[in-house]
Amino acid sequence: MEKKTTINETIKWQDITPGGNICASGNSIEFITGDWRTDKPIFIEDKCKQCLLCVPVCPDSSIPVKDSKRLDFDYDHCKGCGICAKACPFGAIEMIKDDK
């Protein structure tokens, strides 16, 4: 495990990790990043044919798959971009305004 740097008034800028750099893999799961979503995808299970074409196009990996079957969205990480809805040939994903 990496040692964390304590940032205070005595630290030099050269000793701080540059902003925007990802220093460890898999750390996005630790943060809820779907808070700023304005549109929300709705999974219509009756229309879904389990083709899974929506899964690889999701830039946030917000479509979980278990036992080769897609599940409902992970709204903690979904940004509401709508790419999944455009990729779905069966109309099983509908975009609505997110009323948080």
**According to the model, what pLDDT value does residue 98 have?**
92
- CA-closest candidate to residue 74, choices 36, 38, 40: 40
Using CA atoms, how far apart are residues 25 and 82, in angstroms rounded to an integer?
A: 26
Residue 78 has pLDDT above 70, yes or no: yes
**According to the model, what pLDDT value does residue 22 have?**
65
**Greater pLDDT, 71 or 6:** 71
Mind listing the pLDDT tens digit for each residue in 15-47? Answer: 877 776 666 666 667 778 888 899 999 999 999
**According to the model, what pLDDT value does residue 55 have?**
97
